[in-house]
Amino acid sequence: MLTPGPPPPPDPPLDELEREPVPTDPRKRIYAHEEDAAGGLVRIVWDSDDPEFLEAEFRAPDTRGRPDAALVRAFWNAVKERTRTLGPLPIDGADPRP
């Protein structure tokens, strides 16, 4: 007889997300995708422990001041291009400052 256990973790929502090891907790399942876009690095992260959230961040070498509007638009366009297969997604929060 088998005893019921926790359900298996869900699969990542995007095919390009690859598992990233977490050295401090090998049980944690974090998936990420990075690409050069919008004049910097666009990083999309998903945690199987919190599957409702898909996190997108922009990393640029120049962090002096706030990013200009064209850079923010380019970032969102890159994110929308990567996540278009998921349909429209709500935005929980956005902070243009590091």
- Tens digits of residue pLDDT in 20-55: 999 999 889 999 999 998 778 999 999 999 988 999
Residue 11 has pLDDT above 60, yes or no: yes
Burial class for 59, CB neighbours closer than 10 Å (0-12, 13-18, 19+)? exposed
* Sequence-ordered alpha helix ranges (H) in the chain: 69-83
Parent domain of 49? 18-86
The CA radius of gyration of the chain, in Å to the nearest whole number, is 16
- Would you say residue 76 lies in a domain? yes
Which candidate, 67, 57, 49, 66, places its Cα nearest to that of 93? 57
Q: Could you give the number of structural domains in the chain?
A: 1
- Distance from chain centroid for Cα 50: 12
Whole-number pLDDT of residue 38: 72
pLDDT for the residue 8? 80
Name the pairing type of β-strands 30-37 and 54-59. unpaired
Asked if residue 11 belongs to a domain, the reply is no
pTM: 0.81
